[in-house]
Chains A and B, each alone.
Chain A
Amino acid sequence: MMTTDKNTPGEIEELLPWHAAGTLSRRDAQRVEEALAHDPELARRYALVREELAETILLNETLGAPSGRAMDKLFAKIDAEPARKPAASLNFGTRIAAFIATLRPRTLALAGAAAAIAILLQAGFIAGLVINEHRTGGYETASAPTTNPGVGAFTVIRFAPQASFDDISKFLAANKLQIAAGPMAGGLYKVRVADTALPKDELARIVKKLQQDKLIGFIATTD
């Protein structure tokens, strides 16, 4: 049976775009498949639909992504909102660790900005670390001041983009480091390496040692 007409869409023909996008119910998809198998003209039109689908995706993918300004602006607005009571009672760090562990690379890639997302997620992991260490009953952000922000010896670190929550936690624990602040511009974190100020050459020695670790993308001393 022919399902095609020049100007009036048939019921099946109307469904072709959704069939190409894979968003039809199983039943409808089956109906379309059967019609395509028996109607060469419909099959030809379906090829046109698939072309449109491919070019629409490409067109949208070339539109780029918003700058970091959008997120800064959003969180500035959120900061200005009245404080909200945390609803969940589960340990925050545990929930976030479990959550992060389940993220699939393919899904992340769909956003078309994998690098930006990796940085955002890493910021998320590290926010979790800061929150774990400085919980006072409410939620703190990574950029919130720590209990003693100015006391100790510090470095600035940018972690390698592929560093996971587990990697960073282990690295910090093994080297007795604490995230003091961040993320700052360029994805940098201020990391406390000692509770008291250290001589310059001692701090340089620590930096040199930490620099050898593959998790470190960049490290430098700071006040």
Chain B
Amino acid sequence: MEIEAARMIGAGLAAIGLAGVGVGIGNVFATTIATIGRNPSIQNRVAGLMWIGFALVEAIGLFALLVAFMVLFG
């Protein structure tokens, strides 16, 4: 197999990890919305934690992007 074809396949495989990221981000926001729904007064406290959670999960997605770039251009 040519190295270029293998790179392309590797980069495509690296994108599979983004499925978990989608689930994770959906989970963070769904739980936040449910929490605010049950206890509206907690909104300010929970909002900060939600953004931290979102950024941490998004970082994992970008780690997958990093792997794809390393495979494609490394």
Tell me, yes or no, whether A binds B.
no
- What is the interface of chain B, defined by CB distance below 8 A to chain A? none
